[in-house]
Amino acid sequence: MKRSWTRRMPGAAALALMPALILALAPAGPEEGMFPVSEIPKLDLRSKGLEIAPEEIFSPDRIGLIYGIVQVGATGSFVSPDGLILTNHHVAFGAAQAASTRENDYIRDGFLAPTRGREIEAKGMTARITESFRDVSAQVLAAVKPGMDASARTKAVEKKIKEIVAAAEKDDPGKRAEVAEMFAGKTYVLFLYATLKDIRLVYVPPRSIGEFGGEEDNWMWPRHTGDFSFLRAYVGPDGGPADFAAANVPYRPKRFLKVAPEGVRENDFVFLLGYPGRTYRHTASPFLAYEEEVRMPSVAEWYAWQIALMEKMGEGDRAVALKHAARIKGLANTMKNYRGKLQGMRRVGIVERKRAEERRLETFIAADPGRASRYGGLLAKFAAVYDEMRRDAEFRLVLGYLRSGVNLLSFASTIYEASLERPKKDIERESAYMDRNFAQTKRRIALALDNYYEPTDRAVFKEILLRGARLEAARSLPLFAAVAAAADPAKAAESYVDDLYRRTRLGDKAFVQAALERPAAEIKAWGDPLIELAAALYPEAKKLRKQEETWNGTLDSLYPPLLEVKSQFQAQDFIPDANSTLRLTFGRVRGYSPADAVRYHPFTTLDGVLEKSTGREPFDTPRELFDLRQAGDFGRFRPEGFASVPACVLYDADTTGGNSGSPVLNARGELVAVNFDRTYEATINDYAWSADYSRSIGVDIRYVLWVTEKFAGAGFLLDEMGVNGGR
């Protein structure tokens, strides 16, 4: 029998039956929280400033605003009946890069399709729409049997989730199912998504607008970046999702958002809908200390090293620079985010604060014998897991860098693992090799091969060999041991890598794609040195995976009692951490004070863009913007009290990565900005939110429309959105 949840969100009755995600809502801070849409009815948004009925946003039996929201890597929203999507420049960046050549440099010059027929494929992008969701905690947790060890627990939960997903996808062919863990080890929700696969570039501004300020201004206020792009979703002539094809037609969304050309004002109520990636507010202090002391410093340093290398490789050769552009941008974004977090964690003393909170919690536990027997020793158990993790952390990090940083080894490992996993029953395979994911795995490799540049890959490999050779634990592996034992380790690493790259065939795209389908015996017979290396490293990788399963299993069994006792202690309930599922967050347009005697205004303007311009990247504003300013050609986009067009806007809604591209909506549910970043102080949102400094940044809709109409000459897009411009 088909389940009762059809193409809609679950009915009110089904919602009421959901074991409470949030025990009873009492948000911790004034505006903190990324709320699952099922919680909207409990939020009393009208009293906060919302002027429409909350059911207009989400209701089980209506096509609410949430149907206008898409996941395109991060977030985007439909802004026309013909599938036009508004998102960030940095979200479309990878696709613009993939479409760029030395002759057609869409990163430098931007891209505009003058007609629909000229819209081009946004390679690697898909658009997902949340169609329904249902609590499956009881089903998932039924798989956990008493007496299971931690690793078996993790495996049992993973297997049950795969079964639930498989059944859901069978019930609803063409839809994609995913189970999201809302509270670790406790609450699981099955989401059903429609996935559109033909996404095209419509308008991408040049980097000098879309990424104005570059890394220097990234994660900063005052900000002047026109971080927006337009895409369009296409479907097959039958209206169903289809791969890119000339015969496809624009998708007609169930709902699209109305754009409000008049924008917002200071103190206005705003809310965002989107897919925030990951927050860690319900963790214990040992996790935070591990992040602060071990993982983030290592990753930030490693990314800095790679960025410097790639920048050097691209000097003087635009084609090479283009190949590296998206990777550099991604690494630099994370690196600066981590630096901001590290600085913020120290400034606010997050770990110490959490420890103090835990000490109070321990006193509370000890005060009652019932509680003591149920929750006693919990926090010590957390600490024990992280103590163990710290032991070989550097080695595990280096192995991770090897797998993610060296392209050819990553292809080799995927080929080798595919040959082992693909013959298994689908449900027993590692997730990347299941039928539902394998096409995507292959696409990811094809895309990485397009950007592959051998000298960079070799240099990264060599560096990792040298780093590993310095670690005692890594020397248990022959490749690191050999380098460590050599009289001249740098030379040994060089000739080791040289030899591999001379003999391997994995730089060849057709070969790699075919190899992903070949049986293990055949692959072995090729004797490709990188595949042999991947095979030799495989047992170690398995061992580490098993170790991680054990840690995760232990943590998963510790979180539910921790949350339970914390909610008793604080007499307050919790909002689940972000986990890439659809959320609502709200707040007001507000400035803040980043330091003594400094007060930030919540709007920047075109005049600020021009003031910052130096003529050199990343502050190289196109001449036309100066001309338009000089002519006072603002159309209808200069509000009263402003000397020019507002560029970016600040608000205190609670966001994180993944909220990039989220529509910022006014009290009437109309789009007034596109979220793209947070301030430097707010990078620690992921661990702790504060009304004082947690601010998010959006590109003001007036700047989006003004640039699109006046600079790009694409007034037809304003017409399509039903905005009549200032012509």
**Residues annotated catalytic, as ranges:** 90, 227, 660
| In the complex, least distance from residue 281 CB atom to ligand ASP, rounded to whole angstroms | 15
Among 657, 669, 698, 715, binds ligand ASP (CB under 6 A): 657
Cα–Cα dist 159/431, whole Å: 10
Within 8 A by CB and 6+ apart from 594, the residues are 221, 600, 679, 680, 681, 693
Instruction: Identify which of residues 489 and 657 has a Cβ nearer to ligand ASP in the complex.
Output: 657
Q: Check: CB of residue 385 under 8 Å from CB of residue 554.
A: yes
User: Given the complex with ligand ASP, which of 248 and 656 has the nearer CB atom?
Assistant: 656
Count of residues interacting with ligand ASP (CB under 6 A) = 9
Q: How many helices (H) and strands (E) does the chain have?
A: 27, 21
Collapsing DSSP to helix, strand or coil, 272 comes out as strand
* Shortest reach from residue 701's CB to ligand ASP, in Å: 18
Query: Based on CB atoms, which residue is closest to ligand ASP, 554 or 662?
Result: 662
Is 676 a binder of ligand ASP (CB under 6 A)?
yes
Quote the least distance from Cβ 580 to ligand ASP, whole Å. Answer: 13
The reply on whether position 622 binds ligand ASP by CB under 6 A is: no
**Smallest distance, ligand ASP to C-beta of residue 658, A:** 7
Q: Secondary structure of 206-261 in the HEC alphabet?
A: CHHHHCCCHHHHCCCCCCCCCCCEEEEEEECCCCCCCCCCCCCEECCCCCCCCECC
Q: Is position 75 an interface residue for ligand ASP (rule: CB under 6 A)?
A: no
Quote the tokens at residue 560: 């539910």
Say which DSSP state 297 is in: H
Asked if 229 touches ligand ASP (CB under 6 A), the answer is no
187 vs 659 by CB, closer to ligand ASP: 659
Is residue 93 close enough to count as binding ligand ASP by CB under 6 A? no
Exposure of 487 by Cβ count < 10 A (0-12 exposed, 13-18 middle, 19+ buried)? exposed
User: What letter does residue 329 receive in the DSSP assignment?
Assistant: H
The minimum distance between CB 74 and ligand ASP, in angstroms, equals 6
Choose, by CB under 6 A, the member of 475, 566, 612, 678 that binds ligand ASP: 678
Q: Which residue has the tokens 């090799």?
A: 433
Give min distance, CB of 131 to ligand ASP, in A. 25
Instruction: Work out the angle at residue 211's Cα, subtended by the Cα atoms of residues 205 and 213, and round it to the nearest 5 degrees.
Output: 140
Backbone angles phi, psi at 163, to 5 degrees: -65, -40
Distance from C-alpha of 75 to C-alpha of 89, rounded to nearest angstrom: 12
As measured in angstroms, the least distance from the Cβ of 39 to ligand ASP is 21
Under the criterion CB under 6 A, does residue 677 sit at the interface with ligand ASP?
A: yes
- Choose one: 181-189, 531-539, 632-640, 674-682; the region binding ligand ASP (CB under 6 A): 674-682
| 223 scored as a contact of ligand ASP (CB under 6 A) | no
The SS3 of residue 567 is helix
Q: Does 414 bind ligand ASP (CB under 6 A)?
A: no
Return the range that interacts with ligand ASP (CB under 6 A); candidates 113-121, 152-160, 551-559, 650-658: 650-658
**Please, what is the minimum distance in Å from the beta carbon of residue 585 to ligand ASP?**
11
Is position 656 an interface residue for ligand ASP (rule: CB under 6 A)? yes
Kindly tell me the burial class for residue 126, based on how many C-beta atoms sit within 10 Å of its own C-beta (0-12, 13-18, 19 or more).
buried
Q: Smaller CB distance to ligand ASP: residue 414 or 660?
A: 660
Beta carbons of 691 and 283 less than 8 angstroms apart = no
Using CB under 6 A as the binding rule, the residues of this chain from 331 to 360 that contact ligand ASP are 333
The nearer residue to ligand ASP, 404 or 724, going by C-beta atoms, is 404
SS3 447: helix
Among 655, 666, 679, 708, binds ligand ASP (CB under 6 A): 655
What are the structure tokens assigned to 224, written together? 């002047």
> Contact with ligand ASP (CB under 6 A): which of 187, 660, 679, 708?
660
Other CB atoms within a 10 A radius of the CB of residue 76 amount to 32
Give the binding range for ligand ASP (CB under 6 A) out of 101-109, 507-515, 651-659, 713-721.
Answer: 651-659
Cβ-closest position to ligand ASP? 657
Q: How far is CA 393 from CA 216, 299, 474, in A?
A: 31, 12, 11
Q: By the criterion CB under 6 A, which residues form the site for ligand ASP?
A: 333, 655-657, 659-660, 676-678
